[in-house]
Structure 1
Amino acid sequence: MTDDRAPSAPAADGFPPAPGSHDPEALRRRALDALLTARARTATLTDSVEDGELTAQHSPLMSPLVWDLAHIGNQEEQWLLRAVGGRQALRPEIDGLYDAFEHPRSARPSLPLLAPAEARTYASDVRGRALDILEAAPLHEGGRPLERAGFAFGMIAQHEQQHDETMLITHQLRSGPAALTAPVPPDPTDAGSLPGEVLVPAGPFTMGTSAEPWALDNERPAHRREVAAFHLDTSPVTCGAYQRFMADGGYTDPRWWAPEGWDMVREHGLTAPLFWHRDAGQWLRRRFGVTEPVPEDEPVLHVSWYEADAYARWAGRRLPTESEWEKAARHDPATGRSLRYPWGDTDPTPEHANLGQRHLRPARAGAYPAGRAPSGAGQLIGDVWEWTSSDFLPYPGFVAFPYREYSDVFFGPGHKVLRGGSFAVDQVACRGTFRNWDLPVRRQIFSGFRTARDA
């Protein structure tokens, strides 16, 4: 990591220090809250179904829920108990079972995994010891890199929330009645008056960060990027707009598809986003155990990169690059600074964005006016992960920290970058610099997109 300190003054990216980033006690409270929030969500996701559903594999694309539960505890033991606390290993014999690189997801049900009750007890035992370590850990600027600014505790909170999102995907893939419920998101107040696109002027901006204390290695370091002027959709592409692509033969015309995407369409007989089906002349979708009409004004969800790219070509547009997306989301032309979030430097509130599984669906296009960026684009944080045209590559000066397997082994043309987070993402694992990536064929993730064009 180029700069893993918690600076006492704004760094080169113009970030003010994150709240409490040079106050050890404030950092301790922030870390405690992040860890407790993640664990409460893990409990919701695993306590809402019977043990048989925890041990079942609901899709070969996903692990059994009980694997995720024990994996969360094992990663916390390895990093907080052993690496930070210097404690003796509790269950060293299970490290290999819960190594994500040692066993593919499809093979995990055949492993001698901890049973649900044992997995819960293990994760709880680890957590109790981790909180003792947090209480005593020196989080000051001169401490060890893993402890400095509470980085390791923030990393583990983010890791757990990322697996919570993975477990929510498994809930979407499981059959049977709904196990989770949530209220609908707030309606937009001025969607009818919003322009279809915004202009982002040409010029440089600061991409990435060297100051955000819990930023992960692939977000670092801050660096200048020159971006040509472009137009960007004000909101993510909606289900209604996507249906027009479908009705115009989008899935039957190879002109719009990358060759590998067209192969995917033919091999799997794709005609619509994942979880959609046609009945009595109407498009329906299955959402967390409930079948409902597809809402036309909601951002389209569960589309692969190939589908997003094909729609953009059909519309005479393109997917934005990762640099374009981040400039539209963070750059403030009035000050020349790059903001932590589209709305500014303060942490998200329910008025800013659809995050944290508060709602089990995206909000309608045009929602969250308080969360709009200086560019005028909205819903850049939360609702749906947004595919970009960019491959997942390191920034200039990238240094793997604290382990290569988080980012470094995934760099290259095989993975495409997604930005912005979704309704399934917690705020600790979502910010203006946060980078997600996946294979361009992935559809089970909470992915959508918006389009761009040259100015």
Structure 2
Amino acid sequence: MTHETDRLRDLVATELGRARDRTTRLTEAVDDGDLVRQHSPLMSPLVWDLAHVGNQEELWLVRDVGGREPVRRDIDELYDAFKHSRRDRTQLPLLDPREARKYTATVRDKVLDVLDRAPLEGTPLVERAFAFGMIVQHEQQHDETMLATHQLRVGAPVLSAPPPPVSAGKITGEVLVPAGEFTMGTSTEAWALDNERPAHRVVLPAFHIDRAPVTNGEYAAFIDAGGYDDPRWWTSAGWDHRQAASLVAPMHWTSDPSGWLYTRFGRTSPINPDEPVVHVCWYEAAAYAAWAGKRLPTEAEWEKAARWDPATGRSLRYPWGDDTPTAAHANLGQSHLGPAEVGAYPAGVSPLGVHQLIGDAWEWTSSDFHGYPGFAPFPYREYSEVFFGPDYKVLRGGSFGTDRSAVRGTFRNWDYPIRRQIFSGFRCARDA
């Protein structure tokens, strides 16, 4: 057991370090003026995210797991995401960039000391290092949020990364997923969050699902066919929102005599027709699907297409199997600053032949966000349960900005159907 515990401690330390390295890259890419500026009312200033990840780390790992004295109890309310809306956070007496960096470093030093001493068994919070894994995922999720803030930032480019791989072959059409039962969710994944649990059996009728996400080229055809001007394709709420928000194309697209242009992290270029479309809201995705004679998949359909292995009847951790994602499997972790072309990750294909289900773009589903049968909030209601209901739609699969520690075949994301600043795309399905 000692050897296994040591291995787990090493893993946690590595993952905490990876997350902090990414946070540092995202916050040191700009000057202090940019850190405290609000680049969009949809997003917090970057300096708030920086101190918030430290505050959550302090609350859960220093105080709760470690039983240590608080580092800065006086700032708890400032960095409570439920106390202040994003648009109001610039008005708060936040830690300045120097103070935020010092605070997060102090907390991390104490956390590493707690990690050396804490038993990683005995209670649900520490069993298999769950609390540490929760904090790793929390920081990586905020890193993706900060990446989205960088996309909304105006000014010269400050982020760079190599281009993603190109397609290894054209991927078109759809696959038939046969009717039957499969296991959805998990009861065994060590760092799975409460809304992914418990594992349960789901029976689905047969359905077809696209082998690949909808691409920029395919979505441009919807625009060119007048899709934004025809209420037939839109839900009633979607049409109202399209008109109120004056939607005419995905966020960050601009029309040019030569065709559609896309501005990505400060650089503008023609859209790549073979990349998955991103920055579309749920209403836009649903309208495209209707125009194409299809629909969005349900959350259960998406997960069956991603995890179910017809040869064994088992649900895999990932579309390609149970192995942790590598650069050959999926476009994750900000390794690239955009989606890869459809067909770029043949090693990541599911047993049914569905591509790029993990990474590149979050995929909207038709499902509202609810708990599974037997759901139990853990370790606090505010992670998932307070968001259950018809106001939020589920997204699956992760984007190019999602870290491997914060996504898996069971992972569930959720957001309002009007949201477009996230790296959201979709694929279509239809009844068999």
Fold shared by both chains (TM-score > 0.5): yes
**Paired position in structure 2 for 1:378:** 355
Deviation of 1:33 after TM superposition, in Å, equals 1.3
Matched, 1:453 2:392: no
Q: Distance in 1 between matches of 2:389 and 2:57?
A: 29
Matched, 1:417 2:398: no
Q: Distance in 1 between matches of 2:138 and 2:246?
A: 35
Q: Which segments of 5 or more consecutive residues in structure 2 lack a partner in the other structure?
A: none
Q: Distance in 1 between matches of 2:381 and 2:215?
A: 37
For 2:229, what is the secondary structure of its paired residue?
coil
Matched, 1:100 2:81: yes
Matched, 1:398 2:375: yes
Matched, 1:259 2:236: yes
TM-score, normalising length: structure 1: 0.94
For 1:187, what is the secondary structure of its paired residue?
coil
**Paired position in structure 2 for 1:14:** none
Q: Which amino acid in the other structure matches residue 297 of structure 2?
A: P
Deviation of 1:382 after TM superposition, in Å, equals 0.2
Give the length in aligned residue pairs. 432
Matched, 1:174 2:150: no
Matched, 1:63 2:44: yes
Q: Distance in 1 between matches of 2:63 and 2:314?
A: 39
Q: Which amino acid in the other structure matches residue 69 of structure 1?
A: L
Deviation of 1:280 after TM superposition, in Å, equals 2.0
Matched, 1:146 2:125: yes
Q: Distance in 1 between matches of 2:46 and 2:288?
A: 34
Q: Which segments of 5 or more consecutive residues in structure 1 lack a partner in the other structure?
A: 1-19
Deviation of 1:149 after TM superposition, in Å, equals 0.2
Q: Distance in 2 between matches of 1:281 and 1:290?
A: 17
Deviation of 1:259 after TM superposition, in Å, equals 1.0
Counterpart among 256, 262, 278 of residue 285 in structure 1: 262
Matched, 1:42 2:19: no
**Paired position in structure 1 for 2:189:** 212
Paired residues for 1:8-407 under 5 Å: 23-140=4-121, 143-191=122-170, 194-407=171-384
Q: Distance in 1 between matches of 2:203 and 2:165?
A: 36
For 1:150, what is the secondary structure of its paired residue?
helix
Deviation of 1:366 after TM superposition, in Å, equals 1.3
Q: Distance in 2 between matches of 1:46 and 1:103?
A: 22
Deviation of 1:26 after TM superposition, in Å, equals 2.0
Deviation of 1:189 after TM superposition, in Å, equals 1.3
More deviation in 160-169 or 180-189?
Answer: 180-189
For 1:389, what is the secondary structure of its paired residue?
strand
More deviation in 258-267 or 412-421?
Answer: 258-267
Q: What is the CA deviation profile of residues 306-364 of structure 1, one whole-angstrom value per residue up to 9, with x for unaligned ones?
A: 00000000000000000000000000111111000000001000000000000000000
**Paired position in structure 2 for 1:3:** none
Q: Distance in 1 between matches of 2:268 and 2:338?
A: 13
Q: Distance in 1 between matches of 2:193 and 2:4?
A: 20
Deviation of 1:195 after TM superposition, in Å, equals 4.2
Q: Which amino acid in the other structure matches residue 173 of structure 1?
A: L
Q: Distance in 2 between matches of 1:34 and 1:337?
A: 28
Deviation of 1:68 after TM superposition, in Å, equals 0.3
Q: Distance in 1 between matches of 2:73 and 2:158?
A: 34
For 1:440, what is the secondary structure of its paired residue?
coil
Q: What is the CA deviation profile of residues 118-141 of structure 1, one whole-angstrom value per residue up to 9, with x for unaligned ones?
A: 00000000001001111111113x
Q: Distance in 1 between matches of 2:281 and 2:35?
A: 27
TM-score, normalising length: structure 2: 0.99
Deviation of 1:405 after TM superposition, in Å, equals 0.4
Deviation of 1:200 after TM superposition, in Å, equals 0.9
Q: Distance in 2 between matches of 1:452 and 1:26?
A: 42
Deviation of 1:24 after TM superposition, in Å, equals 1.8
**RMSD value, Cα:** 1.2
Judge conservation of contact 2:172–2:212 (CA < 8 Å) in 1.
Answer: no
Q: Which amino acid in the other structure matches residue 287 of structure 1?
A: R
More deviation in 216-225 or 255-264?
Answer: 255-264
Deviation of 1:43 after TM superposition, in Å, equals 0.2
Deviation of 1:29 after TM superposition, in Å, equals 1.6
For 2:34, what is the secondary structure of its paired residue?
helix
Deviation of 1:444 after TM superposition, in Å, equals 0.4
After the TM superposition, list the runs of 4 or more consecutive aligned residues in structure 1 that deviate by more than 3 angstroms: none
